[in-house]
Structure 1
Amino acid sequence: MYNEREIYVGKVYKKGNRKDVTKMKTPHTYVIIFGVVILAWLLTFLIPAGKFSTQEIEYTDANGEISTRTVLVQDSFRYAYPLEKAFVFEQLTALEEDTAKTTALSVDPEALETLLANGADALDQSQLDDIGLTDDVLYDLYGDQIYDTSEKLHKTAKVWGTDDFGGFGFLNFVFEGLVSGDKYGSAVGIAALILVVGGAFGIIMQTGAIDAGIFAFISKTRGLERFALPLLFFAFSFGGATFGMAEEVIPFSMVMVPFVIALGYDSIVAVTVTYVASQIGNATSWMSPFSVAVAQGIAGIPVLSGATFRIIMWVVITALSAAYLMVYAEKIRKQPEKSLTYQSDAYFRDHLEQTSNEQKPFLLGHKLILVEMLAVLIWIVWGVTQKGYYIPEIASQFFVMGLGAGLIAVIFKLENMGLNDVASSFQSGAADLAGTAIVVGMAKGILLVLGGSDANMPSALNTILHSIGGLLNHVPAVIGAWFMYIFQSLFNLVVTSNSGQAALTMPIMAPLADLLGVSRQIAVLAYQLGSGFMDAFTPVSASLIGVLGVARIDWAKWAKFQIKMQGFLFVLGTIFIVIAVAIGLQ
């Protein structure tokens, strides 16, 4: 007998109040990301900043045309050091007299003379940049003698601050993350896309067309529900393999989540059959212009080579992954309460139950809206694959979809909607995804705290990249290839852009493959498997966070499910890496 508390197996009773310690509360996604931000900030105190020189290279893209991309220069890594002013001043004084060399470097002799007139102590890299003597130029001319190598510098953000007041502070990571990039990508472009798509689907959901269509489909396909999931899985995987489907999955998920839940599954199944499938396709692609084509171009091997091996890999891994999903899906269908998202899925179940109880007929207006949606989706796929449409065009297309659905609803008096209802539905839909848009910016902020992903700017991330690349030297070929795969998987935790990761890592991994005795084709394979699979897990992925927001799934809950699937995918990836080394894939 205890006066203060009684302890039982799995439970604590304290002063009459019961607390179940077996049920830990899942941290909010914002809490998890903030914890990662703190960790990233602390790492910058431990890891000195480093940088690479960069250059423009030309390569043949997937369309057979010559494209250019900025990549880092192999063996150009150096830590951030203070400038050795006396040495630089001496060399520039000699350079001032060499008219031919200053002309070749496009350096204004008068500007150089003015700068040197202030003496060695006044030399500053920013001033040298202004006259064309950048750090890269000086390093090419004089090597690391331009640095005081006795002190490695760190690039650590302040606690608080902005670019205009004291410099970037990590507590400003939300705003800086949200406004980073441009309309063509993360974070501001994807955040804007999410808001527009949310508004468009807010209108569509208000019309009742999705609900009516789902129940009409289910009532006519009783007993065939299980065939829908593997077919959808292959369809989305094919989209990822052919045109790098990622952000495009977000609007599709708004339809698929209630549809899959209506079939008796959960939102995790819905996200897996859409977004995860697309990233499996991307990881095993033989033709994606955003991943394998870019990586092969940078690695200096024929673009879209090795297609036969990759097509076989795509079929096998997609089929096995679909089977993995079906095992989980059937478990949830038989015992829905076992789902990690059972409580959050109540939002969709209650809505579907309410709609089902009302027994709304499948009206002509509903059918026209679904046909209009299908037409716009075909327009989007055509635009992406044939015209190169991207985020701005896709956002505009979905706005057209929402507006068209709203006008049809007004004309056919669906849900007694008027023009004001269309506007308020757009507002409500955008508001529902505002939290997701913020998470996209927060995730991007992690990369900013690490110093950014620019190879030409000193950062802790560049040092990590260089260090891991160096560790892979002089190991057996199959082990080296496997560790390249592990490295690319881990690197994708912070850099989720497929083309960006290729530009940062392939200039190191391709020559490293030569040293390890494996083909550069295998280096590309390790890159695409690592970056593709991990995109379905990392909280830094703006596309994943967008889909999870649509499905109302906290990332922590998603991670509990996905970590097991990542293990499954990692084993499959390892098997194909070993096979590629064994057959000498070229």
Structure 2
Amino acid sequence: MGNKKRFAVPDTYVIIFFVILLAAALTYIVPVGQFDTHDISFTKADGTEKTKTVLIPESFRIVQDENGESVKNGIKLFEPYGGVGVTNYMFEGLVSGDKWGSAVGVVAFILVIGGAFGIILKTGAVEAGMFAMIKRTKGFDVAIIPILFILFSLGGAVFGMGEEAIPFVMILVPIIVAMGYDAVTCILITYVATQIGFATSWMNPFSVAIAQGVSGIPVLSGAGFRVSMWIFFTLLGIGYTMIHAKKVKKDPTISISYEQDEVYRNELKSDEDISSDFGLGHTLVILTLVLGMAWVIWGVMKYGYYIPEIATQFFIMGIVSGIIGIIFKLNDMTMNGMAQAFKEGSKDLLGAALVVGMAKGIILVLGGSDPTTPTVLNTVLHYTGNIVGKLPPAVAAWFMYIFQSVFNFFVVSGSGQAALTMPLMAPLADLVGVSRQVGVLAFQLGDGFTNLIVPTSGILIAVLGITKIEWMTWAKWQFKFQMILFACASAFVMIATVIGFN
């Protein structure tokens, strides 16, 4: 008997390519539709005015040709002169947007941060500090997991932490693995924690505040219910993480990242006494990192720093760390060594950066996310709203949550999804007899939790790229936790509907 061939897990690139083909097929089946838009203003909790351009739900119309027939804009295989065709999706996806967001801004952000950390890691300060810390916290390391989880969850809840988790994963993954856990544990206490906070936030300026403003309800209202929800899901996340971490510490081979973590385990076995080499140069690099992180958090919270500023802050950290490395001859650092380390660091995240462009290509193939442009996405949005509007209140609220979860595959941006969907979902909530506050709740839970699994999330793919875990491998492992989150979120939406959350 011959050996059976083992099923090869599709690469993320392969999965997205077939999604592109499916999206292309839809353009030949679904007619395009469009909305009109208007600007609405709402007052934030700090008293400042914010304006957002949103669609007008009742303005939807299917585009018709001169014969009165519905128009289907079947996409071509190739489109010259900067147009979008099926085979153009990679290039057009990569160059779309601007420096403030997807895709080109996020791609640049990932590459700059990867390069900066390439320099920082080249100094050897992170490894030296890691072993020094492990030696001093022996026996108490289990406390690090819940503490970090709470801090990252707060970051997601308070200022919408997302992209900021990427550099933290770079710093913490070798430390967590060296403590006897795995890269998955690191992802859970960083990125997963931020998205749990993001999904259950009472004050996130990028999701809750915009969704409530668009829906015409007081910004940051309903905080009591949401704080309770944040506590519940944060404790749930901590419990799930602790159970996983305990299993991995007992038997590291059960981890989906066991092979990828081998490099860190080898460093631990061969360099157990490296903490004795922790000198002044290492201390200054770690101090640069700590002060730099504080600068990032301060900038985000006080001045609303975003992708361009944060990327530059980490670039500065990388340059300063490299100069310290040269002065103190850390790991034989030189100017050319700095340049090479930057290139190597960026190269490590190139695959993740390309996925961001590919994911954006899905939206472009469907016609884009502009409500005033005739697209397939607008038509799907409109008719889904009509279907949900015919359901009983509790069921309608639950379907709103499901719809937001699915829609997040196409529009991963929290603020973008709020601007597109809430002008429809808010009046729909009135129509089916649930409060607009419940509509916002369905949006934030659907938007936040699915960020942990959708392959179109650039941040998730970047985090997986750092830890060398394939998306399909992660999705299979994370599916169970995703279902737990889904069940609990469904319960919260139902409870909110029953108690008349307003």
TM-score by length of 2: 0.97
1:68 alignment partner in structure 2 = 51
Q: How does 1:352-501 map to 2 (within 5 A)?
A: 352-356=268-272, 361-501=277-417
Pairing 1:264-343 to 2, within 5 Å after superposition: 264-343=180-259
1:354 Cα deviation from its structure 2 partner: 4.3
Which residue number in structure 1 is paired with residue 21 of structure 2?
A: 38
Query: Is this contact kept in 2: 1:62–1:289, CA < 8 A?
Result: no
Question: SS where residue 349 of structure 1 aligns?
Answer: helix
Equivalent AA in structure 1 for residue 51 of structure 2: T
* TM-fit CA distance, 1:345: 2.4
The aligned amino acid for 1:206 is K
Query: Would you say the 8 A contact 2:34–2:62 is kept in 1?
Result: yes
Letter in 1 for 2:17: F
Shift of 1:360: 5.9
Which structure ranks higher in relative contact order (CA pairs < 8 Å, sequence separation ≥ 6)?
2
Matched, 1:179 2:95: yes
- CA distance in 2 between counterparts of 1:559 and 1:359 reads 37
Q: Which residue of 1 aligns with 2:174?
A: 258
Residues 449-488 of structure 1 deviation map (CA, whole Å, 9 limit, x = unaligned):
1111111111111111111100012322111111111111
SS at match of 1:73: strand
1:123 counterpart residue number: none
How many aligned residue pairs are there?
502
Distance, in Å, in 2 between the alignment partners of 1:60 and 1:359 is 52
Cα 1:530–1:80 change in 2 (3 A) is: same
DSSP-derived class of the 2:389 partner: coil
Which of 154, 157, 160 is matched with 2:72 structurally? 154
Tell me if the contact between 1:211 and 1:352 (Cα under 8 Å) persists in the aligned partners.
no
- Structure 1: 5+ residue stretches without partners: 1-5, 7-12, 85-147
8 Å CA contact retained: 2:89, 2:365: yes
CA contact (8 A) 2:256 2:473 kept: yes
Which of 116, 137, 148 aligns to 1:221? It is 137
Q: How far 1:357 moved relative to its partner?
A: 7.1
> How far does the alpha carbon of each residue in 1:239-298 deviate from its partner, in whole angstroms, 9 at most, with x for none?
000000011111111011111111212212211211111011000000011000000000
CA distance in 2, matches of 1:514, 1:173: 39
Structure 2, unpaired ranges of 5+: none
Cα distance in 1 for partners of 2:101, 2:56 equals 25
Letter in 2 for 1:63: D
C-alpha change, 1:444 and 1:348, in structure 2 (3 Å) is: farther
Residue 72 of structure 1 aligns to a residue whose secondary structure is: strand
| Maintained 8 Å contact 2:360/2:456 | yes
TM-score with structure 1 setting the length? 0.84
Q: Which moved further from structure 2: 498-507 or 256-265?
A: 256-265
Work out whether 1:523 is the aligned partner of 2:445. no
Residues 500 and 247 of structure 1, relative CA distance in 2, 3 Å threshold: same
CA distance in 2, matches of 1:179, 1:34: 18
- Does structure 1 retain, via aligned residues, the 8 Å contact 2:371–2:378? yes
Q: Counterparts of 1:288 and 1:277 in 2: how far apart (Å)? A: 14
Task: Report if the CA contact (8 A) 2:128-2:274 is conserved.
Answer: no
1:24 maps to what in 2? 7
8 Å contact 1:237–1:318 — kept in the other structure?
A: yes
Residue range with higher mean Cα deviation, 428-437 or 387-396: 428-437
| Gap change, CA 1:162 and 1:229, over 3 Å in 2 | farther
Query: Cα–Cα, structure 1 residues 444 and 353, in superposed 2: closer, same or farther, change >3 Å?
Result: farther
The Cα of 1:519 is off from its aligned counterpart by 0.6
The residue matched to 1:78 in structure 2 has which SS? strand
Contact 1:341/1:557, CA 8 A, preserved across alignment: no
Deviation at 1:76, TM superposition (A): 1.2
Q: Deviations over 1:138-186 (max 9, x none)?
A: xxxxxxxxxx43x11122321122344xx42111111111101000111
Q: Which residue among 6, 30, 33 is the counterpart of 1:47?
A: 30
Query: How far apart are residue 214 of structure 1 and its match?
Result: 1.0
CA shift for structure 1 position 79: 1.2
Measured in 2, the distance between the counterparts of 1:62 and 1:355 equals: 52
Asked which structure has the greater CA Rg, the reply is: 1
Q: 1:438 to 1:355 in 2, by over 3 A?
A: farther
Partner SS for 1:191: helix
C-alpha RMSD of the superposition:
1.4
SS at match of 2:452: coil
SS in 2 for 1:76: strand
Tell whether the 8 Å contact from 1:211 to 1:355 is kept in structure 2 after alignment.
Answer: no
Instruction: Quote the Cα distance in structure 2 between the aligned partners of 1:355 and 1:477.
Output: 61
